[in-house]
Amino acid sequence: MSHIVFDKVGRSFTRGGETFEALHDIDLEVRDREFVAVVGPSGCGKTTLLRMVAGLEFPSRGSVRVDDREITGPGPDRAVVFQAFALFPWKTVADNIAFGLRCKGMAAPERQERIARYLELMGLTGYEKAYPHQLSGGMQQRVAIARSYALDPDVLLMDEPFGALDAQTRVVMQEELIRISRANPRTVLFITHAVEEAVYLADRVVVMSRRPGAIREIVDVRAVREREGWAGFERIEEVMDQPSFVHLRSHVWKLLREAVPEERKSA
């Protein structure tokens, strides 16, 4: 398994002849098999952090490493799940899951075994021959997650994966992700705007400041979860009823409110 390290990472962009700083001195380690969620105001650089780990963008200063290897581009050790389902519409569920496995040259018997395993894990057994347009949004995202897990990546990168879902389906998918993470743990970097989602899912929540994005505070959810006895809960309503969950959620919200520019507060 793997850990992610951001070492004094900065990122600047130039647009229209003007340079602005998007990220400033990010120091962060996502430990082996740890689930870390990142929240922050729009434009604070959350997705840029994830894209750096994916090898799709690079820091202007500092370094981003996985297992002490500096990232120079995409790699099979990292899989990404985006908000858009990004499925091949002309391929069946099974063929969508199989796509990366075929690219890796996996033999057919092993490929079929792995597809069957993740179909069952994601509750998709019986939908092998269905096409994406025949599935609900939640089921399409299950296929996207199954495709990523089937590659057996060391690191799973998730960028607002439930953002396009309706509220009820989003809750179901959050509970599914908890179940899958316990059955098949990975090192996860999860980007979200939803505070409750971050506190419910993550071991730690990284709260970002507004641009230039910097780490305002890292909230240790796992320690509270284990101390207060809700580590084994899967149903989101059970977790949200816990006073300690309410306290953590309120604390993260307070940090985010303090990150909002004064002109927006008074608008």
Q: What is the pLDDT of residues 43-54, one digit of tens each?
A: 889 999 999 999
> Domain ends where: 152, 167, 191?
152
> Rounded to an integer, what distance in angstroms lies between the CA atom of residue 240 and that of residue 236?
6
Choice among 23-37, 52-66, 115-129, 191-205 with the minimum mean pLDDT: 115-129
Choice among 6-15, 67-76, 227-236 with the minimum mean pLDDT: 227-236
- Examine the domain organization and report whether 49 and 93 are in the same domain: no
- Examine the domain organization and report whether 120 and 231 are in the same domain: no
> For the range 67-72, what are the long-range contacts, defined as Cβ-Cβ under 8 Å and sequence gap of 24 or more?
67/2, 67/3, 67/154, 68/5
pLDDT score for 266 = 43
pLDDT score for 222 = 94
CATH number of the domain within which 71 lies: 3.40.50.300
Span 217-237, average pLDDT: 90
What is the CB-side half-sphere exposure of residue 184 using CA atoms within 13 A? 19
Domain span including residue 163: 4-77+155-265
Span 142-161, average pLDDT: 88
| Residue 246 is assigned to a structural domain of this protein | yes
Mean pLDDT highest for which of 10-19, 108-117, 240-249?
240-249
Span 179-200, average pLDDT: 91
- Residue 198, C-beta contacts closer than 8 angstroms, at least 6 positions apart: 37, 38, 39, 190, 192, 205, 252
Q: Give the CA-trace dihedral at 258, 262, 263, 266, to 10 degrees.
A: 80
Each residue's pLDDT tens digit, 62-104: 999 999 899 999 988 898 888 776 788 999 999 999 988 888 8
221 three-class SS: helix
- Examine the domain organization and report whether 115 and 167 are in the same domain: no
> Per the structure, how many domains does the chain have?
2
Each residue's pLDDT tens digit, 126-135: 999 999 999 9
> Rounded to an integer, what distance in angstroms lies between the CA atom of residue 55 and that of residue 33?
20
> Domain ends where: 117, 152, 187?
152
The amino acid at 12: S
Backbone φ, ψ for residue 223 (5° rounding) = -60, -40
